[in-house]
Every structure is written in structure tokens, then in C-alpha cells.
Amino acid sequence: MNRGEIDGLFCPICIEAWSTEGEHKMCCLPCGHIYGLSCIKKWLRQRRSNGKCPQCNRRSTLKDIRVLYAARLCAVDDRLHKQVRALKAKCDSLEKKNTDYCNKEVRFLEREADLCRKLQMLTEEKKSLERLLEDRQRESQGSSQDYQRRMIKDIGSGSQSCSGIFKQQGEFRVDGGRFFDIDASGQLIIVARRLNGMGGMNLLTKISLVAPNEREDIQLPENTKAVRALCVKPDTRLALLASLGKKLSVVSTESNTTVLTYDLPAPAWSCSWDNDSSHHIYTGLQNGMVMAFDIRQTRTPLESRTGLSCNPVHTVISVASDSSPSGTRTLLSASQIGMCEWNIDCSEERPYLIPESTNQGVCISLAHSGVGDIVASFRPKIEMSASQPLPTPSMSCGVEGSHIFYKRNGTQSYHKTCSLLAQVDSMRLPKSTIINKQNHSPMFVSTNEVTSNLVLHDMSKLAVVQRLRTPTNQIWDMRCTEIWNSAVLSCLSGDTVQIFS
């Protein structure tokens, strides 16, 4: 038994328990040490003790003895109290760490489950791509035989049609779709939509070409208003939007965010990326102006140019630098008065109105091959008397117009090569494009909203080679994109996107 266990229980002189009554009850000396009464009296009476405390040798007498009325003495050990408090704090800290580790474990398990789901989706997408690649390889092997079996037939308009150049590969329903483009690097269709049932909300929708059921919406700021033009810059995952809310916006189709917005002096009707630079963008405005921006400079435009008229610029096209003087960026634009060429780096120079396009009527569409071939579409000018009511979109019908073919030989050098009569819409601005498909001559594609067709013309023969049926006569947009080393023609008609290849 150690000293700590004896203290408070036994007399230090006789090592026997003291009592609460009798001769051996507890008492103490002035120095504070405690003994049995009979034992300390005997001790102090002994000569050899010299009247000193047995423990501290402090001098004391019998009169100094004080009786203590207690059953047991117990002293609190402050060292143990501190140790207990330290252990309790350590336990609390360990419990907190344990809770944190448990929470982290839950998050890690959730993350692991999410990664497993994504891995499964990527595995399925990989299998789908492999199957698609196998199908494309089989198609390419049999394509030469298909071309030889192409049939020529009369389609009622006196033109001959060669079936099989393009075949429909699929279609997707997109409610409220107005304009679209294809992001080939991301294998996505980007559709600008206006949802009338949701207070006229404007947004972009991404549709996967690999798995069409996978869709994502990109919300646009409320002040964007209706999108009037949309184009994707190849290999950048960036989309350029021209909108009637006087905004020119750059949207990331990878992060689903608007990364840049320019305020414009008027509603935007058209837009284009520069062919040779990923930093320069252009837009045509409702008041006839054309503006150029460098997306590295977010405050002011590079140039703001006034047009030759106040008519909306419904088309702007960047011309490759190979066909322009060194250091000069060239644009082609189209508005009601005809086609114009703009040298962007020459701010003092007015736009050049191409003479061959001024007396053809109202210019309603413009297509450029990327090299030197240009096709502009026209409809006749309508002279209206003051008493004649203004036409409404519901009164739109077909009128006899024309497609004029031009060759660009250099800066401000154009000549008309040929023309075709065509049935065009009397109100709307139709879409057109030029396709360079392997093993075929360049083809000009126009829309015929009266017959609900995409009409393909062989530009070398000036002959209709194919007509592709659309779901409705309301053809909003049309695109030609290089995907999987093949020309893909796509069309937005009504609420349906069609893919042809």
C-alpha cells in the first residue's frame, strides 16, 4: 500500500486506523500533520522527541494539539484533475475527427458511385462509337456501288434528280428550335430555342450526336432576347450568338456558361467567326452596321462600320486570307440592297457594293464555298400602294426568284457566271449553303418552303440532283458540316432537326 492510500485512513505513528471517538481519535498539530490523539501525546512526552512533530520536526506542545471531528480525510489531487481534463479534451478531439472521417467516407462513397456511373456511360458511349465506326466503314465500302446505281427520274419540274447523294441518318425533335449549328469536335448539335409556353424563355440546347437522348440546356441571360444567328467555331467548343436584345455573346458549350457579352447599338441579325483567327468575331446589325471584335478586348469593338443602307445585314461571312491581300481581313455581307465586301482593317474605306448584285431584286440569302464560288438568292421587289394592306407572315407564299452564281477573283473583283430561276418565299429569309462532298462536284443547296424541300444543285451542270423532304414548310435553318471525314447536311424544319449524309 502506498503513501497516497494510507493518508486519511491511518495514523502515521502507529499505522493503525484512527477512530471518531476515544483515545485514538483524529487530531492535528499547528503544522497541519494529523495523528491519533493517544499516539501524538505519547510522542510529545518522550524526551527523545524533544517536543517536535514526527514528520516536519516543528516544535509543538500538548496544548497545541487540536482534535478533528471527521470520519475520514480526503484531499483532491489537482494533478489528477488536470490529467482528467486533458484526457476529456483528447476524447472530444478524437470524436470530432471520427465524425469528420465518417462524413468524408460518405462523400468518397458518393463520389465513387458517381464515377462508376460516369464510367458506365463512357463505356456505353465507346461501344456506340465503335458500332457507328463499323457502320460508317461498311457504308464507305459500298458507297461506290451505290453511286453507280443512282437513278435519274423526273420530279415534276422538268429537272432531273439523282437519288442517293444524301440519305437521312436521323432526326430529333426540339420544341421551339429557331437556329442551330453543329459542334463537330464535341459531337453536339447546338439549338437556339424560344419556349413560348414559359414566358418566352430563350435558351440553348445541346444534343449528343452519339446518344441523342442525352440533352443539356444552357440558360441565357433574360436581356438576350430572341437569338437571330448562331455559329460554332470548329475545335474551340465556343458558340457565337447574335440576338435581338442588342447582344453579341460567346457561350462555352463545354462549361455551359456565357463567357463574354458585347452590348451593341442595335439588334444583331447575323454573326461570324473569323476564318483565320479564333479571336476575331463579326456581327451584322439591324441598322445596316457591321462590327468587328477581338474577344481578348472585352470593352470596345475593333471596328464599327456604317453600311450603305439602313437595311438589316442578314448575312456576314468571313473570307479566307488566301483570297485577300496580306494582313487584310475581308467580310462578305448581304442585305436587301445586295452583296457588299468589307475590308475590316481599312477603317476609312467604305463597303464595296458588288455591282452585279444591285439590279437583281431583294437579296434574301448568301452562300460562300470558302474558296471563290458565291451564290446569292433574290426575290422581286414589291411596290405597294398606300391603300394596300401590309402582308403578314401567314400570307407568305412562293414567288419566282433567282439564284445568281458569282466567281470571286480577288479584292473587289467579282463576275456573274450564271443564274437559275427558282421558287422562293415571298416573306421569309431562306437559308442556303454550298457543299463540297467527296466524289461529287460542288453543290448549292437552297430551301423551298413552298414544296417543303431542300434542293441540291450541281454547280458544274446547273442541274437539280436531289430533293430532300422536310417535315414542314417552315424551314428555320440549314447547315453543312464536316464530321467523321464526311459532309453532313442538317436542317431545322418546324420542331425537327434532320441529319443527312
Calpha distance 120→135 (Å, rounded)? 23
Class of domain 3-67: alpha beta
Residues 6+ positions from 12 with CB-CB distance below 8 Å: 6, 33, 34, 35, 54, 55
Consecutive H or E run containing 31: none
Assess whether pLDDT exceeds 80 at residue 391. Answer: no
By C-alpha distance, which of 192, 21, 261, 169 is closest to 481? 169
pLDDT tens, residue by residue, 172-198: 899 999 999 999 888 899 999 988 765
Confidence label for 161 from pLDDT (cuts 50, 70 and 90):
very low
Joined together, the cell numbers standing for residue 312 give: 438589316
- In one letter, which amino acid is 315? T
Q: Is 389 helix (H, G, I), strand (E, B) or coil?
A: coil
Class of domain 150-385+392-500: mainly beta
pLDDT of residue 340: 93
pLDDT of residue 501: 87
Phi, psi (degrees; rounded to nearest 5) at 85: -60, -40
- In one letter, which amino acid is 156? G
* Contact in structure between 307 and 290 (CB atoms under 8 Å): yes
Whole-model pTM above 0.75?
Answer: no
pLDDT tens, residue by residue, 323-369: 555 567 889 999 999 999 998 877 778 899 988 788 889 999 999 98
Mean pLDDT of the chain: 84
Domain boundaries of the chain, sorted by first residue: 3-67, 104-149, 150-385+392-500
By C-alpha distance, which of 315, 331, 353 is closest to 277? 331
Calpha distance 473→365 (Å, rounded)? 17
Calpha distance 403→422 (Å, rounded)? 7
What average pLDDT does the segment 234-240 reach? Answer: 91
Joined together, the cell numbers standing for residue 407 give: 466567281
pLDDT of residue 321: 74
pLDDT of residue 455: 93
Calpha distance 307→304 (Å, rounded)? 10
Calculate what percentage of the chain has a pLDDT beyond 70.
87
DSSP string, 75-118: ---HHHHHHHHHHHHHHHHHHHHHHHHHHHHHHHHHHHHHHHHH
Sheet architecture: strand order including 66-67: 34-36, 26-28, 66-67
Joined together, the cell numbers standing for residue 117 give: 456511373
Per the document, the length of the chain is: 501
